[in-house]
Amino acid sequence: MSCAGDYALELRSRGYRMTSQRMAILHVLQHSGKHLSPTEVYDQARDELPGLTETTVYRTLEFLAENGFAHSAHMGSGHLVYEIARHEHHHLKCRICGNEMEVEHALLTKLYRQLESASGYRLTDSHLTFFGLCPDCQTGA
């Protein structure tokens, strides 16, 4: 779990403690390399922290997302999924095969500025998923 220790200093600088629950959940997210449902996080984290409850996982994931340590996203399942916050990005997801790819945030920077200008809002964060058909599914391959 030592990799999640990298987050301890940032948490402390914001006035929060690095609890064993946060450590276990950050460790799972750091090593998953993909979006995980809260149940998947729970299943993996309880191997390292047997007393962990699913309710604690939900609350901790919300806390981590609110504080910029994790990103939450709707990926078409109707439920939120989470991943470690490495860099700002978005996703393209195929409605047929489920294949995904990352879209760099820089591609949407102009759109974000236009949204802010038109609405008066200052966008502070987002994690968008665009749905469509991948090239293979378009050709029926």
The stretch 104-131 carries a mean pLDDT of: 86
The stretch 125-133 carries a mean pLDDT of: 82
pLDDT of residue 6: 74
pLDDT of residue 1 exceeding 70, the answer is: no
pLDDT of residue 41: 97
Which domains, and CATH codes, for the chain? 2-84 (1.10.10.10), 89-139 (3.30.1490.190)
DSSP characters over the chain:
-GGGGGGHHHHHHTT----HHHHHHHHHHHHH-S-B-HHHHHHHHHHH-TT--HHHHHHHHHHHHHTTSEEEEE-SSSSEEEEE--S-EEEEEETTT--EEEEEGGGGHHHHHHHHHHH---------EEEE--HHHHHT-
The stretch 107-127 carries a mean pLDDT of: 87
